[in-house]
Amino acid sequence: MDSASLEPSLYTVKAIFILDNDGNRLLSKYYDPELYPSMKEQNNFERNIFNKTHKADNEIAFLEGMTIVYKCSIDLFFYVVGSPQENELMLMSVLNCLFDSLSQILRKNVERRCLLENMEGAFLVVDEIIDGGVILESDPQQVLQKVSYRADENPLSEQSVAQHITEKLALTSNVLQSAKEQIKWSILK
């Protein structure tokens, strides 16, 4: 191994996906464009992982040089993929946060049909937990608060999704403005 691959990195998660009990993809996000760049390669990777894990009673697998933590519930399989030297506990905290957050959104009914009916909430949860492979949050209550979702509320409306996107854009705009100011002052010095 070269020393660059052993350097600590914030980019902890390489991929996250949910498969049904037949191994079909329901939700996936790949954060490393070099890992599996094509849809065909991603599907092959997911199929290999599913074949290795769907009958196993473990929580961690190693396949194709990747560390994979997973959990199953009724007819869903949840996977979080990291690099070979990644800390399994970090990956497991992401997996548990994803599962617990979705459990709240789906009112403790974590199954395929309910997930498909609430897919927009599932994508929001994934986006609040991980951004570009960087773990942002591992507390399910914080994630649910950020997506403005409570177990006793109705499913997400277009208005709450639009509000979430607007808030993200405003945050991005503030970060860009701050970066511009810092660059301007560093040039003027």
Q: What pLDDT sits at residue 63?
A: 82
Nearest to 64 by CA among 52, 77, 54: 52
Q: What's the mean per-residue pLDDT of the chain?
A: 82
CATH architecture of 13-153: 2-Layer Sandwich (3.30)
Mean pLDDT over residues 4-10, rounded? 64
Question: Does the structure show a pLDDT above 60 at 150?
Answer: no
Cα dist. 153→3, 89, 107, 146 in Å? 49, 32, 10, 14
What digits encode the pLDDT tens for the residues 73-111?
888 899 999 988 888 888 999 999 999 988 888 888 788
- Residue 114's φ and ψ, nearest 5 degrees, are -65, -35
Mean pLDDT over residues 172-180, rounded? 76
End-to-end CA distance of the chain, in Å?
A: 42
Position 87: which residue type?
N
3-state secondary structure of 24: coil
Task: Return the structure tokens found at 132.
Answer: 């570009």
CB of 69 closer than 8 Å to CB of 86:
no
pTM of the model: 0.72
Number of helices (H) and strands (E), helices first, in the chain? 6, 7
CB of 21 closer than 8 Å to CB of 78:
no
What digits encode the pLDDT tens for the residues 25-71?
989 999 988 888 889 999 999 899 898 888 877 788 888 888 999 99
Q: What pLDDT sits at residue 152?
A: 43
Mean pLDDT over residues 141-169, rounded? 67
Q: Where is average pLDDT lowest: 45-54, 121-130, 162-171?
A: 162-171
